A = this chain, B = another copy of it.
Amino acid sequence: MIFAALADPTRRAILARLTEGEATVGELAEPFDISLPAVSRHLKVLEAAGLISRTRSAQWRSSRLEAGPLREATAWMEDYRRFWDESFDRLDAHLKRTLARNEENHHD
């Protein structure tokens, strides 16, 4: 559920905005060129994923970032860390070989 919530760029932008503090739906919608209901539904998705919580006060609903699911997501990715180090090593080796070959060829 969390990855699906993060898959949309508008939702990621909303999360980024919320790092600066709570905001109302209207405020969150402002930078985007989409309708308010569209934003409202993005917020619903984020809330369902546990990435935001909302409080109502008068006619404003304030959204607040809840990063817990991100912690879980990184925990899941941790299992792959050893592989990305390895991938990097392989990439690194590859780049070095390529570079060396270039040096040989047109040794200017």
Chain A residues in the interface with B (C-beta under 8 A): 3-4, 6-7, 15-16, 19, 65-68, 70-71, 73-74, 77-81, 83-84, 86-88, 91
**What is the CB-to-nearest-CB distance from A72 to chain B, in angstroms, rounded to a whole number?**
9
Q: Flag if A77 contacts B88 (CB, 8 Å).
A: no
**Contact pick for A67, options B4, B7, B68, B84, CB 8 Å:** B84
Interfacial chain B residues near A74, Cβ < 8 Å: 74, 77-78
**What is the CB-to-nearest-CB distance from A60 to chain B, in angstroms, rounded to a whole number?**
21
**What is the CB-to-nearest-CB distance from A46 to chain B, in angstroms, rounded to a whole number?**
13
**Contact pick for A80, options B19, B80, B88, CB 8 Å:** B19
Interfacial chain B residues near A3, Cβ < 8 Å: 3-4, 6-7
Interfacial chain B residues near A73, Cβ < 8 Å: 77
